[in-house]
Amino acid sequence: MYKLFFRLVFTRMDPERAHHLAFRWIRGAARVPVLRTFLAAALAPRHKELRTEAFGLRMHGPFGLAAGFDKNAVAIDGMAMLGFDHVEIGTVTGEAQPGNPGKRLFRLVNDRALINRMGFNNEGSLVVAARLASRTPLLRTVVGVNIGKTKTKTVREEDAAGDYVKSAERLAPYADYLVVNVSSPNTPGLRNLQAAESLRPLLSAVREAADRTATGRRVPLLVKIAPDLADEDVDAVADLAVELGLDGIIATNTTIAREGLGLASAPALVKETGGLSGAPLKARSLEVLRRLYARVGDRITLVGVGGVEDAEDAWQRILAGATLVQGYSAFVYQGPFWARAVHKGLAARLRTSPYATLADAVGADVRKPV
C-alpha cells in the first residue's frame, strides 16, 4: 500500500516538501492518544529477545532512526510510535541556520538512494535544548543528540571546538547520548576535523563540557565518521576513540563518492553535489564497520548505519560488530511498517542462529578464525 502511495503521490512532489508533509502526519498522529496507542501496537510490537543494552542504556531493540530526519527534536514520540528503539535528533549546531539553498534533496529511486546537501538546517542548540527540557515523553525511547559545526564565516575551522562546546553545554543535560558529527560533506572543512590531530582536542573539549553541565551522570559520547576515510584513517580514529575513552563510533555518514557504485539513476541526478545515502553505501559502510570492530573489539560500542534496508542488512551489521543499527533513507522508500519488518526479521534470524542473544552475535563474523 505504501509503495503505491509513494509512487502516485510522493514521487510527484519535491522530496523536501514530501518529507515535511510526512513529518506533519507523524507528529499529528502521535498527539492523539487513542491513535498513538493503536499505531504503536501495530507498528512497534516488542520482541523480548531483541532487548539491547548499549552505553549503559536499555532499549527495546537495536534498531534506531539515524540523525537527519528529526533535526529539531519535534517528532521523537512519533518516531518511537513507528517502532524505532532509539531516535537520534539533529544535526544541531551552535547557532540556528537555514542550511543550503534549495533544491537540496534528491531521490535516486532506481538506486534506492538519496543525495542531500541540506547543510545542517536547524533551529540551533538553544531552541532545541529548550524543547528537550520541556518535553514530556509519551512513549519510551532513547534519545541521542547529534551536534555539528555552525556554517558561518565567524566559526572557522580553528574555532570549531568552541562551537561544539556551546552545543554540548546546552544539550548534554537532555541527551541519553551525544554524538560529535565531523563527517557531513555539506559544511566546508568539517571533514578535516576527522584527522586525529584535530579530533583529539575537539572530542576532549566536548567531553569536558558534557561532564560539566550534565551533573549527576556521565553522558555517553560518540563520534560519527565518513565512509570516505582511507583505511589507515579509520584505524587512527579507532585508536583515538580507545585512547580518549569514547563510548562509541557511528559508521558511517553519507558518501561523496559516485564512481564504482553502479548507480542507475539519471546522470543529471547522480552528478548532484552532496552526500549520497541508501543502498549504494551498503558495502563500504559494512567494510568500515568490520575494520573498526577488528581494531577495537568490545572496548567501544559501534553503531552501524549506511545502506541498511532490511532485517538481513541489520543482521549483517550486528555480525560485523554493531551493537546498534540505524537507518533513514530506506524509511523514505519503505514507509511506516519498515521498523516493524526489521524487528520481525531480526527476531527470526536470532532464533535460527547459533547465538543465544543479540549480544552474543555482535562481531561474530569478525571473530571467526581465518
The answer to whether 167 is a known ligand-binding residue is no
Other CB atoms within 10 A of residue 161 CB = 19
The answer to whether 120 is a known ligand-binding residue is yes
The answer to whether 119 is a known ligand-binding residue is yes
If we measure between CA atoms, which residue out of 206, 187, 200, 290 comes closest to residue 236?
200
Structural element, H or E, at residue 165: helix 160-171
The answer to whether 151 is a known ligand-binding residue is no
**What is residue 313's three-state secondary structure?**
helix
Cα 116–chain centre separation? 15
Q: Give the pairing of strands 301-305 and 248-251.
A: parallel
The answer to whether 307 is a known ligand-binding residue is yes
The answer to whether 121 is a known ligand-binding residue is no
The answer to whether 192 is a known ligand-binding residue is no
The answer to whether 118 is a known ligand-binding residue is yes
**What is residue 318's three-state secondary structure?**
helix
The answer to whether 103 is a known ligand-binding residue is no
The answer to whether 245 is a known ligand-binding residue is no
The answer to whether 67 is a known ligand-binding residue is yes
The answer to whether 72 is a known ligand-binding residue is no
Angstrom distance (rounded) from CA 27 to CA 71? 14
The answer to whether 329 is a known ligand-binding residue is yes
The dihedral sign for the CA sequence 269, 307, 336, 103: negative
Q: Is residue 7 exposed (0-12), middle (13-18) or buried (19+ Cβ within 10 Å)?
A: exposed
Residues 6+ away with beta carbon under 8 Å from 54: 62, 248, 301, 323, 324
The answer to whether 100 is a known ligand-binding residue is no
Question: Which one is catalytic: 125, 167, 183, 184?
Answer: 184
The answer to whether 368 is a known ligand-binding residue is no
Angstrom distance (rounded) from CA 288 to CA 235? 10
Answer whether 62's CB lies under 8 Å from 51's CB.
no
Other CB atoms within 10 A of residue 162 CB = 13
167 included as an active-site residue: no
The answer to whether 79 is a known ligand-binding residue is no
Q: How many residues does the chain have?
A: 370
The answer to whether 70 is a known ligand-binding residue is yes
The answer to whether 186 is a known ligand-binding residue is yes
Lookup: cell for 128: 532545541
Structural element, H or E, at residue 93: strand 86-93
Angstrom distance (rounded) from CA 168 to CA 90? 13
Query: Helix 15-31 crosses helix 33-43 at what angle (to 10 degrees)?
Result: 110
If we measure between CA atoms, which residue out of 189, 130, 106 comes closest to residue 155?
189
Per the annotation, binding residues for substrate are 71, 116-120, 181, 186, 253-254
The residues assigned a catalytic role are: 184
Per the annotation, binding residues for FMN are 67-71, 91, 146, 181, 224, 252, 278, 307, 328-329
Per the annotation, binding residues are 67-71, 91, 116-120, 146, 181, 186, 224, 252-254, 278, 307, 328-329
